[in-house]
């Protein structure tokens, strides 16, 4: 096979796997009227990665055509009225001057006339009285779950469970030392962790095993400072569990959970730790 044919074969092979060529937008991605649309992609031949000049973008949508050159292109919405609503086809052409190949993906633009980050579909729900005409309602919390409308996947249905950011310490965890405690700090977006019942806080999973009913992993204390909760657990009991299951010299995940009193809500969060020894 000649060098040129070899490069052509590589380019054509790449075109058959467009996810490897166009990394953004992902297939079926949804944007809004005034969104910035990031184009990201790459192409290679037998000599390696093609330069920016070898990558050409072509975007076709309802009554609009746009283009660009390079691995990274950011498309701002049209100054007059933003992106038209509908389906768009995006094509990336990689060319080394001799051969070329293309990758294609599609995405949609949904109407957001008031430019508040919520589509008209969302603002057409029953709890939105002004529809897609009030940019300030993005900051309201119509279902009272603590999550602003614009950040809430279901703004008219209150959430009762939340994903927490958890941090386990110490990391690494030394099996040779069983004195004292281990801790997990917890942040719950949009919620006040001071509402969490100390008696509800516990470890629920260790190395993917369910320990939610094991009395050894009930927290021995739960304190809150500056919006961050800290749970302490008996280090000796955790070490005993890990040694008994021959868990050592590897990274594991540990999950913590808890719940509030009133209003009722729960959280769960995980962190990884290296078990050493």
CA distance 145 to 156: 10
CA distance 54 to 43: 8
pLDDT in tens, 225-237: 999 999 999 999 9
What the block records as the tokens of 72 is 């990274």
pLDDT in tens, 57-96: 999 999 999 999 999 999 999 999 999 999 999 999 999 8
Which residues is 72 bridged to in the sheet?
A: 40
For domain 161-276, the CATH architecture is: Sandwich (2.60)
Residue 235 belongs to what H/E stretch? Answer: helix 235-244
pLDDT on residue 162: 96
Same fold, 3-110 and 161-276: yes
In this structure, are residues 243 and 276 in contact, taking their beta carbons and an 8 Å threshold?
no
- The pTM (predicted TM-score) of the whole model is 0.70
133: Cα within 13 Å, side-chain hemisphere: 3
- The residue ranges of every structural domain in the chain are 3-110, 161-276
What the block records as the tokens of 47 is 């000599």
In degrees, rounded to 5, the angle at the alpha carbon of residue 226 between the alpha carbons of residues 220 and 223 is 10
Residue 16 has pLDDT above 60, yes or no: no
What the block records as the tokens of 172 is 């690494």
CATH 1.10.3720.10 fits 3-110, yes or no: no
């Amino acid at each position: 096979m000649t060098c040129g044919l070899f490069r052509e074969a590589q380019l054509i092979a790449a075109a058959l796997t467009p996810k490897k060529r166009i990394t953004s937008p992902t297939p079926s991605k949804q944007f809004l009227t005034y969104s910035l649309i990031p184009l990201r992609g790459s192409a290679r031949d037998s000599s390696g990665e093609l330069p920016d000049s070898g990558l050409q973008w072509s975007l076709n949508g309802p009554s609009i055509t746009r283009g660009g050159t390079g691995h990274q292109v950011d498309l701002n919405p049209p100054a007059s009225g933003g992106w038209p609503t509908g389906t768009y086809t995006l094509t990336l052409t990689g060319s080394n001057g001799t051969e070329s190949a293309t990758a294609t993906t599609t995405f949609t633009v949904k109407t957001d006339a008031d430019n508040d980050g919520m589509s008209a579909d969302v603002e057409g729900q029953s709890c939105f009285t002004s529809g897609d005409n009030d940019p300030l309602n993005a900051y309201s919390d119509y279902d009272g779950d603590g999550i602003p409308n614009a950040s809430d996947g279901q703004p008219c249905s209150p959430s009762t469970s939340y994903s927490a950011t958890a941090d386990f310490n110490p990391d690494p965890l030394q099996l040779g030392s069983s004195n004292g405690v281990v801790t997990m700090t917890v942040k719950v977006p949009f919620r006040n962790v001071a509402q969490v019942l100390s008696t509800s806080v516990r470890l629920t999973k260790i190395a993917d095993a369910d320990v939610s009913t094991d009395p050894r992993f009930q927290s021995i204390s739960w304190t809150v400072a500056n919006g961050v909760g800290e749970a302490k657990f008996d280090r000796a009991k955790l070490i005993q569990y890990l040694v008994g299951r021959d868990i050592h010299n590897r990274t594991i995940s540990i999950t913590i959970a808890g719940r509030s009193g009133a209003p009722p809500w729960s959280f769960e969060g995980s962190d990884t730790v290296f078990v050493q020894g």
